[in-house]
Amino acid sequence: MTSSAGPAVAIDVGSRFLRVARVEADGAPRLVDLPGAVPGEGLPTPAAVREDHDAALRLAYAAYRELCGTPERLVLVVPQGEQDRPAPDVGVPRPRLLGTPHAVLALLRHGGGSPTWPLLVCQLGALEIDIARCALVGRMVGVSRATRYEPGPPGYGDAFDAAVLDGAGLAADGPEVLRELGLARAANARRTEAALDRMALRPDRAERFADTVVCEVAGREITAGVVHRALSRLTDGLDRALEGVRPSPDRLPVITVGGPARSGTLIRHLTERLGPAVPLPDGTDPATAAVLGAALVAAGQADAADRYPYAVSVRVHRIVAGRPRDGELQISPPGTLVPGGATVFAEVGGERVRLSTAPATTGGAREVRLLVRDGGSGSAVPAGTAMVPAITDVSLHIGLRVTTDGTARLVLRQLGQSPDDAHPTAPSSPQLPPTEIPLGALPTDARPAETDRPPDT
């Protein structure tokens, strides 16, 4: 993809760090060096907003705007499953929400990676573990959650940090101590991993290697033995998370991201249980992979592949000036259908369109045709047909949803079947059960073949 004009920025709000990234002039995504940020980590999340995601987001965004001004585009990294919720109000521009797996996969594809589908994206965070199964479905990446593990306070990655600090005789509740730990970890990552590897390769001399000092925090030495003992918090939690993953006949490739994913020991523990590790491009820090991928999406350099790119319409019959006329009703605009996301209903002026399934004198079922339209060229191709039940004196809403396996379903919902309906169904009205009609996979290309006849619109 080519970069679009204007500045663009991505934000990933974590319980420990607020990460803000953008694509630099050389085309590479990097963290923005905000005042007070820990190099390679981001801006420490103040304790006052650690439990309030939107407040933390506004703080990070305000820090960026004060330093760099207002961007033209803003992408927010959110947990899988939250990308179709209403975006939080942070001012201008209106942010786009991007799930962590899609952000990571955007980074991988931009870096020249050719993933083997399906694969797993394992996010190891400060508070939880979230593992998602990803599969390529047409022009989208379908994502479904494989398991999620929330161990409770002090969390997952935070429990590891607390154990490291406790082993050095330090309290883990001080923000300055946590900041120093982040700086020390970044500066001594290779030394720490080398010491842990020596302990694993030479168990007969592990006790001797355990006394190796790998870093210093707040004037206290932290040894390889302290880090090694704290790692049990990560490996035990990972084993508990994997209890919820259904066994697969094939070992699936695994992309692991998040701060704890910096540990080679932990990655080996994970891949032994799931499948081969997929390397991030150019040695990317796994803690920043999601926000860097989101920055590429914000800048227009990578396709998130998280939404269906075309509009979907249905052929309808209307009475205009007393005469029947065929028409076309758009159900979903481009970029609104998310695999596994909410149903998108046809709307006009912000209100759902009311339709009837058939004239009062018609029985049986009616065949309706759907079209996929490319907004840029205006071309359209057939998207399949559906047999819609014909029930007289019933008004309904029509919508679409895409499942996690990439197949579409036409959704018919009678007025009054949703709590947000403005016109509830009268008790004496005929009752149409909520109906979903399978449509199969939506077309991957909205350009008709030269031999195809254009739709009769």
Asked whether residue 265 carries a pLDDT value surpassing 70, the answer given is yes
What is the pLDDT of the chain when averaged over all its residues?
Answer: 85
- DSSP helix/strand/coil, 186: helix
Distance of CA 451 to the CA centre of its chain: 39
Q: Which two tokens stand for residue 140?
A: 């989208």
Cβ atoms of residues 328 and 368 within 8 Å: no
CB atoms inside a 10 Å sphere around CB 153: 8
Asked whether residue 341 carries a pLDDT value surpassing 60, the answer given is yes
Identify which of 157-161, 186-190, 204-208, 249-253 has the greatest average pLDDT.
157-161
Query: Over the stretch 357-412, which tens digit does the pLDDT of each residue have?
Result: 655 455 567 788 899 988 766 788 988 888 887 766 677 899 999 988 778 999 99
When pLDDT is averaged across residues 433-437 and rounded to a whole number, the result is 78
Query: Over the stretch 222-245, which tens digit does the pLDDT of each residue have?
Result: 999 999 999 999 999 999 998 877
CA distances from 41 to 12, 37, 259, 349, 391 (A): 11, 7, 9, 44, 59
CATH for 1-101+285-305 is: 3.30.420.40
59: phi then psi, degrees, rounded to nearest 5: -65, -45
The reply to whether the predicted model has a pTM over 0.95 is: no
When pLDDT is averaged across residues 415-424 and rounded to a whole number, the result is 53
- DSSP helix/strand/coil, 148: strand
Distance of CA 47 to the CA centre of its chain: 25
Asked whether residue 322 carries a pLDDT value surpassing 70, the answer given is no
Top-confidence residue, 11 or 322: 11
Sort residue 115 into left (φ over 0), alpha (ψ -120 to 50) or beta: beta
Prior bond to 115 cis, omega within 30? no
Asked whether residue 340 carries a pLDDT value surpassing 90, the answer given is no
Query: Over the stretch 130-150, which tens digit does the pLDDT of each residue have?
Result: 999 998 877 788 888 889 999
CATH for 116-277 is: 3.30.420.40
Top-confidence residue, 446 or 58: 58
- Strand partners for 291: none
Q: What is the pLDDT of residue 418?
A: 55
Give the domain ranges of the chain: 1-101+285-305, 116-277, 311-441
Instruction: Please state which of the ranges 192-206, 209-223, 321-335, 426-440 shows the lowest mean pLDDT.
Output: 426-440
The identity of residue 368, as a single letter, is V
Q: Which ranges of 84-174 would DSSP assign to H, the alpha helix?
A: 100-110, 157-167
Q: Using only the alpha carbons of the chain, give its radius of gyration.
A: 26
**What is the C-alpha separation between 45 and 48, in angstroms, rounded?**
8
Query: HSE on the CB side for 246, CA within 13 Å?
Result: 7
Instruction: Please state which of the ranges 106-120, 325-339, 384-398, 399-413 shows the lowest mean pLDDT.
Output: 384-398
**What is the C-alpha separation between 251 and 90, in angstroms, rounded?**
42
How does residue 426 score in pLDDT terms, banded at 50, 70 and 90? very low
Residue % of the chain over a pLDDT of 90? 49
Distance of CA 275 to the CA centre of its chain: 22
DSSP per residue, 226-294: HHHHHHHHHHHHHHHHHTTSPP-SSPPPEEEESGGGG-HHHHHHHHHHS-PBPPPGGG--TTTHHHHHH
Q: What is the pLDDT of residue 6?
A: 59
**What is the C-alpha separation between 8 and 294, in angstroms, rounded?**
10
How does residue 454 score in pLDDT terms, banded at 50, 70 and 90? very low
Q: What is the pLDDT of residue 428?
A: 46
Asked whether residue 161 carries a pLDDT value surpassing 60, the answer given is yes
- DSSP helix/strand/coil, 425: coil
Q: What is the pLDDT of residue 247?
A: 60
